[in-house]
Amino acid sequence: MQHVKIVEVGPRDGLQNEKQLVPLAVKLELIRRLADAGLSAIEAGAFVSPKWVPQMADSAEVLKALDLGGAVAYPVLVPNDQGLDAALEAGAREIAVFGAASESFSRKNINASIAESLQRFESVMRRAQAEKLRVRGYVSCVVGCPYEGPIAPAKVAEVTQTLLDMGCYEVSLGDTIGVGTPASVHQMLDAVLKTAPAARLAGHFHDTYGMAIANIREALNAGIRVFDASVAGLGGCPYAKGASGNVASEDVAYLLRGEGYHTGIDLTKLVAAAWHVSDALGKPPASKLAHALGRQA
Ligand code: HMG
Ligand code: MG
């Protein structure tokens, strides 16, 4: 049975977009439940400016409460050297740098052009490698941008290749605002796969237009075997107006089980985690599966 990995991004991509401040205890209980459900990589926070994303301000406290030397990886976002300093201080073993294929989105999200951001990442990468950290890369707006509209697949391929050449072990391709359809995702992957091997790519699909599952199916066909997803479909992006949450982890796990892939995930426990965090946030889960199986899953 082939393995497909789900990178759980709910505690970061999901919670970064919550309007109410999410207490540390709620974050830690969510992460505990996700690890218990079999997720082997859980993005736990972001060492970004608390003025830009207040929800991630307690990321050091989150990391300090986790078993960072165990079997589960807890990557955190790092935009610059200052973020790396804080991540190292908190004991991070894996970080993710995040760039974009759209100039306008790059400016709105990290206050830098694409070229400037890649320069910052080079410095972060050099230091991270010296500290033996694993570094993942993100490219946002791989299909469309909230400010620029459609994005050229060749630009996505170029930024992806730069991040891989820099030393990222994997690059996650983000349909940040969920505008992709299988046809546009196919076109984008076609360009990226001309230079990057499928084994070093991941898919990161937001579900704004309900296309994420179809897009994942398309990416599976293209040989991608790692997908980011967010329990209960939590989230969005604070710098991409109208973006809804990531595709729900439990819906992806259900798809993968049905397609005959091994994920190592206990669906019953994952659905229970979805209900638990949704109750804590006072809203219903956005996934289909949580409703189909109900609270008693
Ligand atoms: P800036 O304002 O240009 O930063 O922001 P600066 O270097 O000019 O510094 C200004 C202030 O920020 C200073 O503080 C710095 O100390 C502080 P002050 O002197 O004014 O008190 N600062 C920091 N504080 C904490 N941590 C840091 C840090 N760096 C500077 N690392 C910056 C530049 C990158 C910091 C800012 O734009 C930022 O934090 N952006 C983060 C935005 C973000 O987190 N977006 C969401 C994540 S990306 C995403 O969701 C997409 C993804 O899911 C994939 C997809 O869906 O496509 C990954
Ligand atoms: Mg995202």
User: Is the Cβ atom of 147 under 6 angstroms away from ligand 1?
Assistant: no
Per-residue pLDDT, 105: 97
Ligand 1 atom with the shortest distance to the CA of 139 = 57
Residue nearest to atom 11 of ligand 1 (CA): 49
Asked whether the predicted pLDDT for residue 83 surpasses 70, the reply is yes
User: Is the Cβ atom of 110 under 6 angstroms away from ligand 1?
Assistant: yes
SS3 string, the chain, reads CCECEEEECHHHHHHHHCCCCCCHHHHHHHHHHHHHCCCCEECCEECCCCCCCHHHCCHHHHHHCCCCCCCCECCEECCCHHHHHHHHHCCCCEEEEEEECCHHHHHHHHCCCHHHHHHHHHHHHHHHHHCCCEEEEEEECCCEECCCEECCHHHHHHHHHHHHHHCCCEEEEEECCCCCCHHHHHHHHHHHCCCCCHHHEEEEEECCCCCHHHHHHHHHHCCCCEEEEEHHHCCCCCCCCCCCCECEHHHHHHHHHHCCCECCCCHHHHHHHHHHHHHHHCCCCCCHHHHHHCCCC
Cα-flanking dihedrals φ and ψ of residue 211, to 5°?
Answer: -100, 0
Distance from residue 82's CA to the centre of ligand 1 (Å): 9
Per-residue pLDDT, 238: 64
Distance from residue 96's CA to the centre of ligand 1 (Å): 13
Distance from residue 104's CA to the centre of ligand 2 (Å): 16
Per-residue pLDDT, 237: 63
Q: Just list the catalytic residues.
A: 237
What is the average pLDDT score of the chain?
96
Ligand 1 atom with the shortest distance to the CA of 243 = 56
Per-residue pLDDT, 129: 97
Per-residue pLDDT, 34: 98
State percent of the chain over pLDDT 70.
97
Per-residue pLDDT, 11: 98
Per-residue pLDDT, 244: 77
Burial readout 139-169 (b: 16 or more C-beta within 10 A, e: otherwise): bbbbbbbbeeeebebebbbbbbebbbebebe
Task: Report how far apart, in Å, the C-alpha atoms of 66 and of each of 10, 35, 41, 50 are.
Answer: 16, 11, 13, 21
Residues 22-74: tens digit of each pLDDT? 999 999 999 999 999 999 999 999 999 999 999 999 999 999 999 999 999 99
Residue nearest to atom 45 of ligand 1 (CA): 109
Q: Which two three-digit tokens encode residue 200?
A: 């070093």
Mean pLDDT (whole number) for 160-181: 97
Cβ pair 63, 74 in contact under 8 A: yes
Range in 87-96, 273-282, 288-297 with the lowest mean pLDDT: 288-297
Per-residue pLDDT, 189: 99
Task: Tell how far CA 127 is from the center of its chain.
Answer: 23
Ligand 1 atom with the shortest distance to the CA of 172 = 54
Residue nearest to atom 50 of ligand 1 (CA): 237
Select from 8, 48, 175 the residue to mutate for testing ligand 1; criterion: most ligand atoms less than 8 Å from CB: 48
Per-residue pLDDT, 142: 98
Mean pLDDT (whole number) for 147-154: 97
Task: Report how far apart, in Å, the C-alpha atoms of 189 and of each of 36, 192, 219 are.
Answer: 33, 5, 8
Per-residue pLDDT, 19: 86
Per-residue pLDDT, 297: 64
Asked whether the predicted pLDDT for residue 157 surpasses 80, the reply is yes
* Pairwise CA distance, residues 56 & 59, whole Å: 6
List 171's β-bridge partners, or say none.
Answer: 137, 201
Distance from residue 79's CA to the centre of ligand 1 (Å): 6
Per-residue pLDDT, 239: 65
Asked whether the predicted pLDDT for residue 18 surpasses 70, the reply is yes
User: Is the Cβ atom of 113 under 6 angstroms away from ligand 1?
Assistant: no
Asked whether the predicted pLDDT for residue 186 surpasses 70, the reply is yes
